[in-house]
């Protein structure tokens, strides 16, 4: 990757996919933490496209009890899909900051259309996000979008930015899951979806996961990364929308990100479910920025920051 790699940043302050209030201010909190300047400092030419305008829930009717705020979520995701498709056509890397995880639907749909389906998805999340309108226990769309990208569930969600599935079920790798609903477990088993859970990591160590990443990278030319901050232990990511007491450690998530950055052609990333109201000393936002850089093949950490501030001359 050249030092002049272009990157398009898009903020999506959407909180309608769940009831995790506070994630709507995530994009501006990332900017306050100097995401643009920090990514520029490690070698990216960053264009900040600002935020997609999202309607406040107080001005909306939840509508369908099995798919709350469906129309507005689809509208926002269609706009995001257009922006993502445009960025990738321009040979930019796309970085999308949320917002709740339902924004992954538009981000990946846009990338998939731009790349004519030649896209793998590495999905890091404590939850499955593979419910449908038929199996949901909550009606929250942030638990359905991954199923929709794979072609399961409500047509309204499956057909965002073009009809049909956007990711082949063979090109998904779900990492770090620890809280799946029964319907999600059945879907994973019945459809043979690739999932490397927290239990797998603790019982088998990281080696088999690295082999799964290698296998995916050998079969598709392009990879999208979706990072829900709740996959990380709340010691390191207290500002996750749903803080996780049994998530990945810093060294685990950093190692996974570095490996992906080295082995995969990552075309875009979404970082979601950041609630700055729960953060401590901005450390969740700072970790999110660090991981974006690592997933895109750049060296960024407290150590590189320390060295850049203490260079001689």
| Radius of gyration from C-alpha coordinates of the chain | 18
Contact 201, 252 (CB under 8 A): yes
Mean confidence (pLDDT) of the chain: 95
Which two tokens mark 140?
Answer: 């929250």
User: Which pLDDT band, with edges at 50, 70 and 90, does 302 fall under?
Assistant: low
Residue 94 CA: distances (Å) to CA of 5, 226, 258, 274, 276: 11, 12, 18, 18, 22
User: Which pLDDT band, with edges at 50, 70 and 90, does 1 fall under?
Assistant: very low
What is residue 305's predicted lDDT score, i.e. its pLDDT? 62
The Cα 108–Cα 103 span in angstroms is: 9
What is residue 19's predicted lDDT score, i.e. its pLDDT? 85
Total-model pTM = 0.96
Cis geometry, peptide bond prior to residue 99 (ω within 30 degrees of 0): yes
The pLDDT tens digits for 117-163 are 999 999 999 999 999 999 999 999 999 999 999 999 999 999 999 99
The Cα 81–Cα 149 span in angstroms is: 12
What is residue 301's predicted lDDT score, i.e. its pLDDT? 78
Residue 307 CA: distances (Å) to CA of 213, 261, 302: 31, 21, 9
* Burial 110-133, CB ≥16 within 10 A → b, else e: bbbbbbebebbbbbbbbbbbbbbb
Catalytic residue positions, numbered: 101, 125, 127, 129, 142, 228, 230, 273
Q: Which ranges in the chain belong to alpha helices (H)?
A: 26-32, 35-41, 70-89, 104-114, 145-149, 155-158, 182-191, 198-204, 207-219, 250-263, 283-295, 302-309
> What value does the mean pLDDT take over residues 74-84?
98
The pLDDT tens digits for 150-199 are 999 999 999 999 999 999 999 999 999 999 999 999 999 999 999 999 99
What is residue 21's predicted lDDT score, i.e. its pLDDT? 81
């Amino acid at each position: 990757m050249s030092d002049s790699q272009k990157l398009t940043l898009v903020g999506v302050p959407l909180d309608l996919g769940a009831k995790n209030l506070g994630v709507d201010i995530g994009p501006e909190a990332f900017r306050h933490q100097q995401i643009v300047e920090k990514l520029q400092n490690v070698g990216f030419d960053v264009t900040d496209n600002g935020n997609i305008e999202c309607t406040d829930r107080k001005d909306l009717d939840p509508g369908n009890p099995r798919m709350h705020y469906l129309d507005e979520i689809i509208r926002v995701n269609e706009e995001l899909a257009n922006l993502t498709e445009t960025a990738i056509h321009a040979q930019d890397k796309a970085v999308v900051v949320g917002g709740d995880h339902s924004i992954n639907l538009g981000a990946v749909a846009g990338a998939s259309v731009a790349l004519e389906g030649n896209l793998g998805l590495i999905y890091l999340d404590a939850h499955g996000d593979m419910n449908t309108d038929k199996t949901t226990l909550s009606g929250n769309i942030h638990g359905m979008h991954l199923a929709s990208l794979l072609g399961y569930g409500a047509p309204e969600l499956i057909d965002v930015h073009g009809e049909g599935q956007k990711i082949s079920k063979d090109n998904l790798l779900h990492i770090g899951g620890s809280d799946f609903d029964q319907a999600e477990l059945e879907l994973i088993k019945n459809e043979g979806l690739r999932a490397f859970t927290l239990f797998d990591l603790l019982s088998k160590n990281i080696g088999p996961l690295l082999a799964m990443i290698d296998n995916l990278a050998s079969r598709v030319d392009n990879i999208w990364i979706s990072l829900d901050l709740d996959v990380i232990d709340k010691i390191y990511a207290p500002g996750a929308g749903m803080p996780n007491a049994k998530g990945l450690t810093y060294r685990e998530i950093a190692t996974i990100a570095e490996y992906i950055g080295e082995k995969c052609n990552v075309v875009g990333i979404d970082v979601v479910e950041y609630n700055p109201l729960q953060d401590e000393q901005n450390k969740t936002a700072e970790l999110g920025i660090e991981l974006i850089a690592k997933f895109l093949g750049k060296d960024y950490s407290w150590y590189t920051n320390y060295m850049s501030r203490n260079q001689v001359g």
